[in-house]
Amino acid sequence: MLRNFALLDAKNASIESDLCVIGAGAAGIAIARAFVGTRTRVAVIESGGLGVDRVAQSLNVGANLGLPYYDLAQARERRFGGTTMRWSGRCAPLDPIDFATRPWVPHSGWPIGPEVLDPYYRRAQDVLDVGEYRYDASLWQDIGLEPDGFDPATFAVRFWRIRARRFGHAFRQDLADAANVTVYLNGTVVSLAPDHDANSIRHVVVQSICGREVIVTARHFVLATGGIENARLLLASDEVERAGIGNGRDLVGRFFMEHPKCRVARIETPDPHGLLERWRKQFPRGMPKLWPALVPTAAVQERHGILNSSLAFYYRSAVGMSAAALRARPPGPAAIARSMAEIPANLVRRYVRRRSVVFAPQALHLLARGEQAPDRNSRVVLSNDRDALGQRRADLDWRLGEIDKRSARVLTELAATEFARLRLGRIMPAAWLSDGSPDGWPLPRPGDATQDHHDHLQGGNHHIGTTRMATDPSRGVTDADARVFGKANLFVAGSSVFPTSGWANPTLTIVALALRLADHLKARLP
């Protein structure tokens, strides 16, 4: 059932459950659904409501201390369904190399292998409703296209499956009808209280904005509040345990990773529209949307000492530019006429339907989405500022290193070689790739109306690695079962447990890990 925490009977000073899941995003909902119909009593605590709430969102406010990043108040959503309520639905699994310990990538290696997650990936496909568990180059045949012939020893073709399933809509009724699951909306967990021996969590304290406070007891607890808030909750428990729960080795909040993305090259090609149509979103009938990308093979990554990243193809269209940018650099009538003449009639119809009008000439470019190398100095830290509930806020110090930039440069050089060999066109690398700075990235230019959002460094709103899993507490915060080291009944769900990020968007792996954790908890909660 769904209940509003703020409207609970004043006599209810406590809530008892077998399992308490903190957060109702992709991970929290996946775990709760796995228990529907069982004899386990599940309490799900969600800070927001069914829709976006300005006051709940204000709890996300924090400062960006490192590289420019998104406004932290808007980079995640406190609501039932979490950030899936506004995501693109882009899904892909991690590659086998992402789980491996790579000598050229410090702090790499998972305590589990890809074979452990494989059956859960297949189950996650159903939860996300993204079709068959297949992401490789064989999908070219399914959509009726021939591959472009990129050297398979250099590049592997991977596909994203794209279907924006909103968990808050798709699974709301499932949980509302469940007799053994109660979702408490508009209640924020403000503290974790360890048992007298400090080896387990006794209860959590939940508050509403209006000042209501309730204690929730359970046999097991799962933090599923996202990569920033999971770390903040553990760090903010420093009044209970020195330095915070699970932070005896100063690892909570560290190793924050994103998927840095940026334009890396312009493509000069005689057939820009043909190339774009092949490598942009595909819409085969009866299948989820598919979007191909080029990914360096494991052998190439090892040979060049680079990260697992991807390349995709983009146009910069006139309609994609801001009004100020168009005024500053409008396409002339002759350029518009030439562009229209080059576009086949079927493409014109397709893009008119999408309300795109005309592409600027020679605006095709390569966009790199990078794996970020784990860096302990890239981190979430506690602020001295406090939110409306009196809790210390989370600030973000996002950092990138030499290997991150070098990987983007090498990836672009490999693409240039392949384009020349296949006579697809000429790759013109962006100047920032070779500007002499080992870790310099193009940053936003305040006040420049002509810049496109792909002109400068961005992330994907993916908050990864801040409670990483490891084989022992000297290397991470959680073990292979996502249990916080030193706590018998506290677990973490979400991308914060990823030791490395890979190139793929994290949600499919988040759900797969959540389903695995649910199975583990079922064994502990007979």
The per-residue DSSP string of 118-151 comes to HHHHHHHHHHHT--SS--STTHHHHTT-------
Residues of the chain with pLDDT under 50: 318-336, 338-340, 342, 346-362
Question: Contact at 8 Å (CB) between 398 and 258?
Answer: yes
The pLDDT value given to residue 359: 46
**Ramachandran region of residue 48, left (φ > 0), alpha (ψ -120 to 50) or beta?**
beta
CA 391 to CA 384: how far, in whole Å?
9
Tell me the whole-structure pTM to 2 decimals.
0.90
The pLDDT value given to residue 315: 77
Q: What token pair was written down for 40?
A: 């386990």
Using DSSP's 3-state secondary structure scheme, residue 86 falls into coil
What are the φ/ψ torsions at residue 471 (nearest 5 degrees)? -80, -20
Q: Which domains does the chain have, with CATH numbers?
A: 2-126+166-257+374-400+461-524 (3.50.50.60), 137-163+262-369+407-440 (no CATH)
Q: What token pair was written down for 9?
A: 């009977």
Question: Contact at 8 Å (CB) between 456 and 445?
Answer: yes
The pLDDT value given to residue 317: 56
**Which residue is associated with the tokens 């697809």?**
424
Residue 88 DSSP one-character state: -
The pLDDT value given to residue 327: 45
